[in-house]
Structure 1
Amino acid sequence: MQYPPTHLVVMGVAGSGKSTLAAALADRLGWACAEADEFHPAANIDKMSQGIPLQDDDRWPWLGEIRDWMTAKSRDGLSTVLTCSALKQSYRRLLSEAGGRVVFLHLDGGADLIGQRMQGREGHFMPPTLLPSQLATLEPLSQEELDAGSLRLDISRSPEELVAAVVQALGLDADQAPRAS
């Protein structure tokens, strides 16, 4: 069986492990991988670097760029793995407009664990002081989103365990999925 182009959007607040899981999934599946941070305009990065939370007006063009990237990959017959906070259901609805199947993988965990992870990382423009605003903005996956195939994943599990859980839950097989070229 050949899969239609699928986009795994690894979502959650900063420090939840999106980049780690996305890289591991892309490696396991051989799919194109991107970081949503790469799509931010300089103005957004400047704001976040100064500890200023983004507003919806800052996010809509950024989310549109991400959706369009996924659609372009779908047109080429490629599946993708993408990191994106996707904190609100309205953001996820916009991303779901991309061509192909869009599945959200919500990395879920306690504020203490996420805060510890953020303290330990270096070279990232998102300061730990923005974690409370991200947690306040986060709208967990709805039952409708879960019923459509999106997954809530416990970040206390290892990346290897999470990859195995995603591959099994979604019935993905690297030998049958559209690969990055």
Structure 2
Amino acid sequence: MPATDSALEAVRLIVVMGVSGAGKSTVGSALADKIGVSFIDADHLHPKANVEKMRGGKPLADEDRWPWLERVAQAMVNAADQNGRVVCACSSLRYAYRAFLRQKAGEAICFVLLNGDKSTIARRQADRPGHFMPAALLDSQFATLEPFQADECALTMDVEMELAEIVEKIAKSIG
């Protein structure tokens, strides 16, 4: 559901989400710079075993994700406690993962979905040689992505827009 302006302005934790290759890290970092807050790339918080599993072409199972997501939630809260707000790039594809992040953080999170069609994302993935998430897992990413639910603070941005336009729209929405 689209959040109201006042609800968005009160949120300290902002998660830029989407499938691999959607631009989470690029948009998240640029947004954090624009609004003057810390940026966390959740990919850097994965345990080595998770990275190796994905690099090997195997999607993560939920039991791989829960400890990682708990670490992500704690890192976001810690950064927001120090700086007032934080932007985090984290796939957060399923509703259960987003609910888990909110529960572990103990506060509201604004999720910003970077939305694009599979061919656009596949083209972007091809431009990232050496990334641990192989393009072969793109189908599983799209299959896992679940729509926002009524209890979520959420925005959706089209990845076809220019980076500056996406960042500006998000920054304006969150105040």
Give the TM-score of the pair, scaled to structure 2.
0.89
Q: How do 1:11-90 residues align onto structure 2 when only pairs under 5 Å count?
A: 11-90=17-96
Counterpart secondary structure, 1:124: coil
Query: Could you list the runs of 5+ residues in structure 2 that have no partner in the other structure?
Result: 1-8
- 1:124 corresponds, among 124, 128, 131, to 131
**Separation in 1 of the partners of 2:136 and 2:142?**
11
Q: After TM superposition, which residue ranges in structure 1, 4 or more long, deviate above 3 angstroms?
A: none
Matched residue, 1:179: none
Matched residue, 1:113: 120
Matched residue, 2:160: 156
The structure richer in helix per residue is 2
Letter in 2 for 1:154: D
Counterpart secondary structure, 2:100: helix
Counterpart secondary structure, 1:144: coil
Query: Could you list the runs of 5+ residues in structure 1 that have no partner in the other structure?
Result: 173-181
**Contact map agreement 1:108 1:152 (CA 8 A) in 2:** yes
**Separation in 1 of the partners of 2:38 and 2:107?**
14
Count residues with an aligned counterpart: 166
Counterpart secondary structure, 1:140: coil
**Separation in 1 of the partners of 2:13 and 2:128?**
27
Q: Deviations over 1:43-97 (max 9, x none)?
A: 0000000001000000000000001111222333531111000000010011113
**Separation in 2 of the partners of 1:140 and 1:27?**
28
Counterpart secondary structure, 1:33: strand
- CA-CA distance at 1:100 after TM superposition: 4.8
**Separation in 2 of the partners of 1:82 and 1:74?**
11
Identity of matched residues, %: 41
- CA-CA distance at 1:4 after TM superposition: 5.4
**Separation in 1 of the partners of 2:22 and 2:65?**
19
Q: Deviations over 1:96-140 (max 9, x none)?
A: 131554110000110000001001112311010000011111102
Letter in 2 for 1:60: W
**Separation in 1 of the partners of 2:128 and 2:140?**
19
**Contact map agreement 2:15 2:88 (CA 8 A) in 1:** yes
**Separation in 1 of the partners of 2:171 and 2:76?**
20
**Contact map agreement 1:141 1:152 (CA 8 A) in 2:** no
**Separation in 2 of the partners of 1:61 and 1:88?**
16
